[in-house]
């Protein structure tokens, strides 16, 4: 039996893509664009839609917010949890994921919000756990930003507390017996009296046990510390590996780390971020590929600004047309492996080439007709071992997702590589079904 491929959609609640060549008309501030895109993805039987989030406008590039405001980059975001609720209301089966920081959100509030949203969506909520590498968020909250690994140390306690809150009601505690007038059994609702190094909470949570018991946990850490954190806590991890060898190495490493924490390898699903170049003819594919090689300068500066924000490190100090000099990872307080992904397999791209590749978003170099793209996706999964992909495309580019869902997914379904129906009722059930 062939192992089926999972798919997700990854974007954010912000103006990204507002001026794209194929952008559909619509107000990114309103839910309609995201709801329409989610419905397209649900037609393709995706596992989830995941919304990234940021708590401040970065000034990492040139020490200024100018580029971020000028181009409408990530950092200008509305609340992803509120959007997730709106998207869940417009879909029936696909999961919805919100991104919430462990550093800048009280754990009781997070546990309460996600459990409530799990009820409202009937068990389809995911929490994308981040420790916030963007310094702007800490400045907005008036909090000092801890070092990279220290943020994960604190996040360990945060997750421990949340899991205790989510389980503070036993699954059968609620009775709602009209004859006796008993709502719930007090003996099955437990204060947790949590007291750690960073957090205290009496408990219990004042939200009833949710359909999943807890939100499905997603994480995107790529540093050694981030990988250990994901291996211990996450149900799914997303990563932007650029080449097949890197994908294989990451996949094998994560599955090995999972076993060290007493879990089965299949309990953590690995998703690779992609945005294949698709065309109905090879000639059209080649035209699209050529266009991606020559973006305007504004796109290059926007890509460098976005990379600087992700790393919390100023890339404007380097020459665009030279390879980057060695950078001490300790100086990168955000995504520490952001740049190293471009330098694998002996490559020494210039900063301009990195920006062009980042702007195109085509990690893995996947391109071709629907059949050819399906071939490449199948080859990656067979070579790596599984588990799936997240298609990173903004909500405005609905023509892209429609083409992917209506032309690539059917090819994979014919090969028995993608589900033809949702079998589970919750996101976790569908994630672990295959």
Query: What distances in angstroms separate CA 397 from CA 56, 82, 204, 279, 317, one per listed residue?
Result: 25, 22, 43, 15, 33
At the fourth CATH level, which superfamily is domain 6-433?
Answer: Luciferase-like domain (3.20.20.30)
Q: Which residues pair with 388 in a beta bridge?
A: 6, 271
Phi-psi region of 361 (alpha: psi -120 to 50; beta: other; left: phi over 0): left
Residue-wise pLDDT for 203-237, tens only, equals 999 999 999 999 999 999 888 999 999 999 999 99
Is the pLDDT score of 336 beyond 60? Answer: no
Q: Are 257 and 233 in contact (CB under 8 A)?
A: no
Residue-wise pLDDT for 39-52, tens only, equals 999 999 999 999 99
Confidence at residue 330, expressed as pLDDT on a 0 to 100 scale: 65
Confidence at residue 25, expressed as pLDDT on a 0 to 100 scale: 83
Residue-wise pLDDT for 358-377, tens only, equals 777 777 789 999 999 999 99
Residue-wise pLDDT for 244-283, tens only, equals 998 999 999 999 999 999 999 999 999 999 999 999 999 9
In the structure, what pLDDT confidence band is assigned to residue 22 with cuts at 50, 70 and 90?
confident
Cβ count near 58 (within 10 Å): 27
- Backbone torsions φ then ψ of 216, nearest 5 degrees: -65, 135
Is the pLDDT score of 342 beyond 80? Answer: no
pTM of the model: 0.91
Spatial distance between the Cα atoms of 182 and 325, rounded to a whole number of angstroms: 68
- Backbone torsions φ then ψ of 270, nearest 5 degrees: -105, 120
Q: Work out the mean pLDDT of the chain and round it to a whole number.
A: 91
Helix (H, G, I), strand (E, B) or coil at 237: strand
Structure tokens at 174: 């609620």
Confidence at residue 332, expressed as pLDDT on a 0 to 100 scale: 66
């Amino acid at each position: 039996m062939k192992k089926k491929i999972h798919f997700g959609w990854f974007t954010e609640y912000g103006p990204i893509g507002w001026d794209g060549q194929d952008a559909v008309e619509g107000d990114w501030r309103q839910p309609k664009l995201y709801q329409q895109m989610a419905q397209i993805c649900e037609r393709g039987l995706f596992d989830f839609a995941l919304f990234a989030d940021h708590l401040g406008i970065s000034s990492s590039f040139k020490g200024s917010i100018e580029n971020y405001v000028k181009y409408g980059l990530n950092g200008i975001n509305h609340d992803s949890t509120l959007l997730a609720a709106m998207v869940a209301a417009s879909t029936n089966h696909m999961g919805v994921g919100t991104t919430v920081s462990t550093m800048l959100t009280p754990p009781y509030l997070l546990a309460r919000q996600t459990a409530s949203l799990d009820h409202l969506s009937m068990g389809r909520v995911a929490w994308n756990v981040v420790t916030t590498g963007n310094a702007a968020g800490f400045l907005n909250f008036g909090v000092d930003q801890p070092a990279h690994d220290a943020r994960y140390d604190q996040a360990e306690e945060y997750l421990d507390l949340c899991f205790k809150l989510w389980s503070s009601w036993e699954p059968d505690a609620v009775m709602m017996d009209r004859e006796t007038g008993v709502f719930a059994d007090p003996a099955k609702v437990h204060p947790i009296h949590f007291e750690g190094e960073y957090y205290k909470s009496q408990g219990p949570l004042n939200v009833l046990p949710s359909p999943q018991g807890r939100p499905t946990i997603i994480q995107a850490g790529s540093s050694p510390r981030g990988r250990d954190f994901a291996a211990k806590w996450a149900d799914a991890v997303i990563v932007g590996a650029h080449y097949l060898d890197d994908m294989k190495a990451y996949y094998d490493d994560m599955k090995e780390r999972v076993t060290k924490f007493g879990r089965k390898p299949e309990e953590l699903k690995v998703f690779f971020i992609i945005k294949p170049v698709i065309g109905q003819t090879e000639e059209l594919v080649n035209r699209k590929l050529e266009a991606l090689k020559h973006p305007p300068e504004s796109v290059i500066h926007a890509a460098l600004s976005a990379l600087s924000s992700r790393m919390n490190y100023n890339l404007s100090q380097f020459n665009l047309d030279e390879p980057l000099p060695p950078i001490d990872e300790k100086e990168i307080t955000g995504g520490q492996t952001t740049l190293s992904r471009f330098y694998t397999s002996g490559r020494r791209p210039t900063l301009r080439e990195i920006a062009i590749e980042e702007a195109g978003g085509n990690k893995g170099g996947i391109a071709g007709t629907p059949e050819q793209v399906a071939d490449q996706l199948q080859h990656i999964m067979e070579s790596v071992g599984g588990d799936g992909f997240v298609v990173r495309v903004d909500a405005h580019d609905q023509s892209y997702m429609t083409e992917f869902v209506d032309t690539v997914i059917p090819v994979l379904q014919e090969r028995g590589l993608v589900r033809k129906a949702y079998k589970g009722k919750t996101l976790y059930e569908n994630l672990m079904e295959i």
